[in-house]
Structure 1
């Protein structure tokens, strides 16, 4: 797991061999990341499936409830098959767009 922090978000890139291994490592570090906007990047992983992304459902809900953005980058996933509670986008640029839209919604009180 590679973690890159900026002033406005934390970009976490998966370097593990499996999503389950990444989730284990991520959960161990989550308390240090819980008050930051997060971009989880699986763009270099080829075999991400919807069931793998669903492992983040509870964390995504908790994170968003606490007023922080949670976005996953993953290619080749049909967005229509993902629950609305998880933001999944195919590119890093789109992840940044989601962070911006979330900030606007928070400013407007949504």
Structure 2
């Protein structure tokens, strides 16, 4: 798992760990980047099952409750089955766009 910082955005990139391992590592390291928007880049993985993506639900809900964005990047998932509480996009650029839109919404008080 690689962690990169770009301004107020932390990008977590999968290398070899399974999704449960990634979620566990994010949870253990959460204090380091809890005040940043988070992008979890899973684009190097193969097809992701619903059961796997749901592993992110708790950490995503916690992070979003603190008024920060949590976006997962994968183009190998059936978006129709992703819970509404999770934000999953097919590219890094779209993740940045989502964060920008959510920051504007927060600035406007939504």
Superposition TM-score, scaled by structure 2 size? 0.93
Runs (4 or more) in structure 1 with deviation over 3 Å come to none
Listed as ranges, the gaps of 5+ residues in structure 1 are none
Aligned pairs for 1:8-19 (under 5 A) are: 8-19=8-19
Q: CA deviation at 1:94?
A: 0.5
2:90 counterpart residue number? 90
In 2, Cα distance between equivalents of 1:42 and 1:103: 23
Superposition TM-score, scaled by structure 1 size? 0.93
Q: CA deviation at 1:37?
A: 0.3
Listed as ranges, the gaps of 5+ residues in structure 2 are none
* Two-structure CA RMSD over aligned residues (Å): 1.1
Say if 2:38 is the partner of 1:28. Answer: no
Aligned pairs for 1:1-110 (under 5 A) are: 1-110=1-110
